Structures are given as structure tokens and as C-alpha cells.
Chains A and B, each alone.
Chain A
């Protein structure tokens, strides 16, 4: 364990639908995310992964139970307050990247800063900095349509970390990528967790992501059914490789 939880869900229950169609998507889930850790949330389809991700990300509110982000209780807050929480504490990465097709890579990152009220030259410089950090310094002016899937997902990662959130939540970030790009994105997320001391939660089916995990949480039928932790001191080889490559490049 690497410190106090930055995001904590306690006994979270979520009911979806109504009447005869009502479904209990989460049945008392308790989970905590700590800084510097990359956690995988794995489970079969319909197990409640995305619902839990939405609740942890303050997009959905639980039917019962509580969620704390950076020590602040978010349960019961109105939609506008939850939006404020998201922009100040949480970065999102989506399976389909969800980039704005009409904006360049730089503008896609700037918009995450813009919604926080960070504008002008400073915001542009910050957006450029994070894009260079994810290896896209040569693609600043490119639009998503002119970039590969791996590059688009790296833009999405840059957008998620540009606002320096304490938590990064990723929904199937490798599902639309080939093996090489999938590894590159996971290595990037692992580096973000380690070097920037953020808490990263990745919802995934993809077994290729396992080597990058500090911890794997398994969910089935709306309940946490298991948790595995990688022994301390063991680095994922891809992280080491990436670091070496960056050093060689410099």
C-alpha cells in the first residue's frame, strides 16, 4: 500500500431501471484506490464494471453507500457540484477515445483545461507539455481523423492528466487498439501512476494489461469477488523499457 486512499467507495449499491425492469447492478461494493497504484478492475460483461467506474467517477450516484474523493464525500451532491468534482479531481479515458473530431490534438487537451477556467497562453503551454510527455510533440496540430488509434488514445491520456487529477479512470483503454499500441498505452498509464503518483483505475477484459497492474480487483455479478496484488519491488518490464528508451532518446 502506498498511502491513504484518494478515492474510496464503501458498501455501494446501485439499482438501475425501474419497476419490473429494475436491476441491482452493484450489491454492496467496497473499494479504495491509492496514489501511485495502477489498479485493474476485471470481470465479465454485465458484472457491473462500468457502473462502478461511473460511480467512482462521480458520473452516477449510488442508490446507497458512500463515495469519497480526496477525503470529500460526494454522495448526494447535485449534478453541477459533481461536475466540479470531476473537473478538479478525476481524469477520464474512454474506450472510443471520445476526442472532438473538429479540434486538433492540442485543442482537445486544452478544452479539458478550458472547462476549469484555465485559458490563454498558460493553458496552451500546459497542453503542449503533456502532449510532448505522452510522445505526441510532433502531432500537436493533427486532428483525430489523421491520427492512428494509439495516437488518439494517447491524446485522450494527455487530456485526462492535463488537469493534474489525483485519480485517472480508464474504461477499456486498450480494447480498440492493436497489441503494440495497447502495450504502449498501458505502459503510459503505469508510468503516470508511478512517476506522477496518481491513482489509476483501468476497467478491462484484456489480459495483456495484467503485467502493468499493481493490483487486480475482480468483480462478478455486482460484487467484488477477489483482489490480487503484485509483490512490492517488482517492476513491469514495459515500464523499464519505456524509461530506457526515453533516456536513450534524450
Chain B
């Protein structure tokens, strides 16, 4: 009967219900968009790190992110790393911004990623056209299909120029986007060095693979003591550092999280206001329940039931809109991400928001005097 009464109270005044649902819906969609953008951004920032196979990353001191390593490491560091006990392999990688000259004039910035997957380096993923073998052909590169227009090319077979060298698109990825909005361009490491005009052993990162059975933390300590001019980071540390750089030092993440918080706040206020006015309208009924001998807990359950039902209906409607927004944003520069985890968090946020909103209504009925039933 608690849920029946909650449901009937809720649906008794359809306009108020609509206002409540709009409040929740607004809140859910705003939070979903903000957190979806946050997740999408995080994924873009860390995607290359996540797809790499190394246990440890050797970087120059103070490298703030994947795109910020410079080309300062040399073969010396590589040999020192290879001589460290417990190290199975040390694979170089080049990452640097470069100028992409468009075929019809003008230029844009790209991030050149030089890698040798056959040696255990990063391999471009989500390939929809072509293979890494195709990319290894002379002048071959791989780019994401969503950047074709921006790069002024049509697809596989198109040619352009990076810095002073000619390149030809040999493979396309799908959904490998860059947070900096400078497209990633994958190619073999030696071609990258050549295009960038860097020495033949210039390196941005070394991906270190630890031998089976070796203690990663111990290997890291040993590497640190040997490589005085470099930093040795775990994969998780490098991810966190990149996220901190792009999301928090730039303020983008704070704005996204702030927007989500604002969404929860606005939703809570709207739902609290409508639940309070609903409770006020049904005060005589709650007083009657109290006169009939119901515990205060029973009445609280009715109010929380109203809040819970509002939350479930609002969540379902909000998620439909949020998922539509996720689909619509797929090919945009900043795609929204929705994961089961985020959906669960959103549901928890909705329930929490509605439970908090119910507090003002519960405070109202706590003071209810059952004697008021005789005064009508």
C-alpha cells in the first residue's frame, strides 16, 4: 500500500508530476552530458597509453602528458634500461607535434606517432581500412577517418605533406580521436624521425616490458637509479599525469565536473520544491494516517516512495535523451561516452538527489499533528 499511495499521490497532479520529471530529466541529461564529456575526454587523453603494451614508461623529466615528451631520449638510455635486471624489452616511441600541409593549401597541426608494433610498440587500433603492413610501405601513414575533412584528404590513397616529407594514407582508424584536436598520425618510427628532422636515435618514450616473474616495482627502482636524466613511470602514473595536465591544469575537467554538480543541484531544488508542495497538499491524508496509528516511518516511506518513483521515471526518460545525445555526438570532435558504470552512477545520483529532495517534505510531516484531522 505504501507504493500504491506514493504512486497515486504522484500521479494525482499530472502537472506537478511533469514539473518534477522535467527537473529530474534536466538534471540527468546535464550530468550525463558533463560526465560523458569528461569520460570521453579522459578516454581520448589516455587512449594511446591504454593501448600500449609496456609495464613502465621512460620519459624525459617533467613530461606532462603523452603529447609533451619531446625528443630528448637517446640510445644511451635504451642500453642502460636493457641492462637493468628484470627488463625484457625496451621499445622506443616518437611522439611530436608537426605541421600537416593540406593538398589544396594551408596547414594544420598533427601529432606524429612513430612506433614499431612488430617490436612490441604501440599499434594503431580500430583499423577499418588497411593494415599496419600497408602503413609500413614507403611514405605510409594511418589516420582516423573522422579527421579526413580537417586534413583535406579523401581517404586511403590520398597524399599530403608532413613538415618537409611526403606521405600517403594507407590505413584508416575509426574513433581514435585526439583531445588536443590535432589528429594522431601513426607511422613507423624511422619515418617519423625522418619527417621531424630528428636524429636517428631520438626518442620520446621507451616502453619497458618487464620479464615474466620480475617485480615491476623493483625494476622501476633499478631503472630510476640508472637513468638519471629520465623519469620512470608506471602506466597508471602516466595516465594520471596526462589526465591531470589536460583536464585539471587547463580547467576543462573542473568545468565539466562543476557543470555536473550544478545539474545535480538544480535537479535537487526542483524535485525538493515539487515534493514539498505535494506533501503539503496531502498533509491531511498524512495526518489521517497518523491518527489511524501509522508510525512516522510508514509516512516517510510514502514520501520516499514518491521520490523513488519520480527518480526511476525521470531516470528512464533522462537516459533515453542522454543516449540519443551520445549517438548524435559520435562523429563530433568531442564525443560523449556512456558506459554501464556511468549509467549506474547516474542512477545512484538520481536516487540520491530524490532522497535528499524528500528531506524537506519529511521535515514537514515530522511536525504533523494528528489532531488536525478533527479541525476540518
Report whether chain A binds chain B.
Answer: yes
Is A50 in contact with B374, judged by CB distance below 8 angstroms? yes
Does A107 have its Cβ within 8 Å of any Cβ on chain B?
A: yes
User: A92 an interface residue at 8 Å Cβ cutoff?
Assistant: yes
Any A CB within 8 A of the CB of B108:
no
Distance (whole angstroms) from the CB of A195 to the closest CB of chain B = 23
Nearest Cβ on chain A to B229's Cβ, whole angstroms? 72
The contact of B376 among A86, A95, A101, A112, by CB within 8 Å, is A95
Which of chain A's residues have a CB closer than 8 A to the CB of B324?
none
In the bound complex, CA of A92 to CA of B370 (Å): 12
Type the 1/0 row for A52-84, where 1 means its CB is closer than 8 Å to any CB of B.
011001011000000000000000000110011
Contacts of A87 in B (CB 8 A): 292-294
Chain A interface residue bracket vs B? 20 to 34
| Residues of chain A within 8 A of B11, CB atoms compared | 102
Give the segment of A34-42, A114-122, A220-228 that binds chain B. Answer: A114-122
Minimum distance in angstroms from B368 CB to a CB of chain A: 10
Q: Evaluate contact between B376 and A115: CB separation under 8 angstroms.
A: no
Task: Name A55's closest neighbour in chain B (CB-CB).
Answer: B371
Chain B proximity mask over A143-172: 1 for CB below 8 Å, otherwise 0: 000000000000000010000000000010
When the two chains form their complex, are residues B294 and A98 in contact, meaning their CB atoms are under 8 A apart?
no
The answer to whether A100 touches B374 (Cβ under 8 A) is no
Give the CA-CA distance A119 to B292 in the complex, in Å: 16
Of A80, A86, A107, A115, which is in contact with the most chain B CB atoms at under 10 Å from its CB?
A: A115
Give a binary string over B282-293; 1 marks a CB under 8 Å from any A CB, 0 the rest: 001100111111
* Contact in complex: A88, B292 (CB < 8 Å): no
Number of B interface residues at 8 Å Cβ cutoff, please give it: 25
Residues of A within 8 A of B295 (CB): 80, 83-84, 115
- Please report the C-alpha to C-alpha distance between residue A92 and residue B291 in the assembled complex, in whole angstroms: 8
Q: Which residue of A lies closest to B287 (CB)?
A: A98
Set of chain B residues within 8 Å of A101, measured between Cβ atoms = 12
User: Contact between A102 and B290 (Cβ–Cβ < 8 Å)?
Assistant: no
- Chain A residues contacting B293 (CB-CB under 8 Å) are 83-88, 90, 115-116
- Min CB–CB distance B219 → chain A (angstroms): 63
> Is A6's CB within 8 Å of the partner chain B?
no
A86 touches B291 (CB 8 A): yes
Complex: chain A residue closest to B374, CB-CB: A50
Chain A residues engaging chain B, CB cutoff 8 angstroms: 50, 53-54, 57, 59-60, 79-80, 83-88, 90, 92, 94-96, 98, 100-103, 107, 110-112, 114-116, 119, 159, 171
Q: B: which residues have CB within 8 A of A?
A: 1-2, 4-5, 8-9, 11-12, 284-285, 288-296, 298, 370-371, 373-374, 376
